[in-house]
Amino acid sequence: MVDVLVAGGGPTGLMLAGELALAGVDVAIVERRPTQQLVGSRAGGFHARTIELLDQRGIADRFLAEGQVARAAGTGNRMLDVSDFPTRHPYTLGLWQKHIERILAGWVDELGVPIHRGEVTGFDQDDTGVVVHLADGDLLRAAYLVGADGGRSVVRRAAGIEFPGAEATTSSLIAEVAVAEEPELGTRRTPSGLVAFGRSEYEIRDGEVVYADRGPVGVMVTEPHVGPNSDPTLRDLSDALIAACGTDYGIHDPTWISRFTDATRQAATYRSGRVLLAGDAAHVHSPSGGQGIGLGIQDAVNLGWKLAQVVRGVSPETLLDTYHAERHPAGARALRQTMAMSALQRPDPRIEAVRDLMTELMDMDEPRRHVAGLLSGLDVRYDLGAGHPLLGRRMPDLDLVTADGPLRVFTLLHRARPVLLDLGTPGSVDPGPWRDRVQLVTAAYDGAWELPVIGAVRPPAAVVIRPDGHVAWVGDGTSSGLEDALTTWFGRAR
């Protein structure tokens, strides 16, 4: 029996397991792939807020060292400059999903999380826990189960959670193949949609992608009609390429072929008793804009500390309801953006006119910042009530000065513990009986207070930072409301 079993060892499940392990929870992953190695790579990277979340745990450098930094975020239609955003990471990181998962798996391994290789087929839950059924007949017991098992989540289905949304209107094939005839590398529009060729090895030089000149070719092509819900074949890929380009370039020896659509669905609830959903298990959408991994990692970082506190008896189960209350609207907002972006890809002269109009708008500063804020994840605000603009938003990674020397805010979050940061008169705020749970840090900061999209904000006298990096309380020089905030987020005083 473990405290938490995470079904699925993709980016979301790995991140969540890491978060729980950091919080001292007994957690295990169950993953159906026989090895961690991912064949093929859907995602090609992630955005600024995801890099920040990894930085909050002290592991961003591992990803930055292997990836390619682009000072822009791709909307699927054009690149948006994000270099003026007030963040330590004003860029997007290009890094294939197989590498993202490998690096995350290495971190999770260091934290001692076991990974069972097996396929979840269902579960039973009662007031005391969950019994998870595996395909080989084994049973695994846990106090809580999190379904991070992807868009076709067995956990979501077994929990009877509805998955409403919009049906697919278009499908695309993505593959890695050998070719007899070299295609032109890059993305172009055809009468049936987009077609893109590239190589998995590339560099970004002066903002331009420069592909390696050898190795298997990565291909993505829109299908003339929405494809079936079955595994695609080389023949399907060949037909789609001939329809789009008039030739299939003599494709052969595929390493992998996969199909994706613009179907957009979101779980009606992210929690059913002792079972929770995160990542693609909770929401699926078109990959336009490349937000899937970021959304899953944000789900994991929001849920991890809350679930840990409930498991450890520090907080009541109702804390788990704030996971749905915060992440469902954030997910819904991102999903609407992906729907808009994928609609803009349609091969239709009227949509082309809308695309042109959007391009003109994106050349203007405010619309660009609005869309880039959404895409980068830097503008996420959880509704924690009215007040200072920082409330519910991400805490910026400020360079603080403390009695012990310089200190970055994100360094304070490496162990995923809450922080009461006193930036005013030392001693004006105190965590009191929460001292064992909430670290008090007294520091000075005299730089600018700027939030992405919002701009300059009034310097606060103190803030409470949750383990996910979101601000839960803003002080005005008094302790007004501090006890309530500490009770709400970190349990009753003991």
Q: Which residues bind ligand FAD (CB under 6 A)?
A: 7-13, 30-33, 42-46, 97, 119-120, 148-150, 154, 174, 260, 279-280, 287, 290-294, 296
- Residue placing its CB nearer to ligand FAD in the complex, 74 or 460: 74
CA distance 3 to 20: 10
- Residue placing its CB nearer to ligand FAD in the complex, 260 or 410: 260
Least CB distance to ligand FAD at residue 284 (A):
8
- Residue placing its CB nearer to ligand FAD in the complex, 33 or 99: 33
CB 3 within 8 A of CB 313: no
Least CB distance to ligand FAD at residue 289 (A):
8
DSSP letters along 229-283, please?
SS---HHHHHHHHHHHHS--TT-EEEEEEEEEE--EEE-S-SEETTEEE-GGGTE
- Residue placing its CB nearer to ligand FAD in the complex, 371 or 400: 371
The one-character DSSP state at 167 is P
Coil vs helix vs strand at 331 = helix
Any idea of the CA torsion for 296, 299, 305, 308, to the nearest 10 degrees?
-80
Taking 3-state DSSP, the helix, strand and coil percentages for the chain, each rounded to the nearest 5, stand at 30, 30, 40
- Residue placing its CB nearer to ligand FAD in the complex, 118 or 491: 118
Least CB distance to ligand FAD at residue 430 (A):
40
Least CB distance to ligand FAD at residue 149 (A):
4
Least CB distance to ligand FAD at residue 64 (A):
16
Q: CB burial class (10 A; 0-12, 13-18, 19+) of residue 22?
A: buried
- Residue placing its CB nearer to ligand FAD in the complex, 190 or 428: 190
- Residue placing its CB nearer to ligand FAD in the complex, 299 or 422: 299
- Residue placing its CB nearer to ligand FAD in the complex, 91 or 473: 91
Structure-token pair, residue 61: 């450098």
Least CB distance to ligand FAD at residue 487 (A):
32
The secondary structure of 172-206, three-state, reads: EEEEEEECCCCCCCEEEEECCEEEEEEECCEEEEC
CA distance 318 to 67: 39
CA distances from residue 203 to 77, 124, 182, 235, 406 in whole angstroms, order as listed = 21, 48, 20, 31, 35
Least CB distance to ligand FAD at residue 46 (A):
5
Sign of CA dihedral 454, 336, 176, 241: negative
- Residue placing its CB nearer to ligand FAD in the complex, 28 or 464: 28
Least CB distance to ligand FAD at residue 100 (A):
8
Strand locations in 318-412, DSSP E? Answer: 399-402, 405-408
Least CB distance to ligand FAD at residue 419 (A):
28
CB 35 within 8 A of CB 82: no
Q: Distance of alpha carbon 191 from its chain centroid, rounded?
A: 33
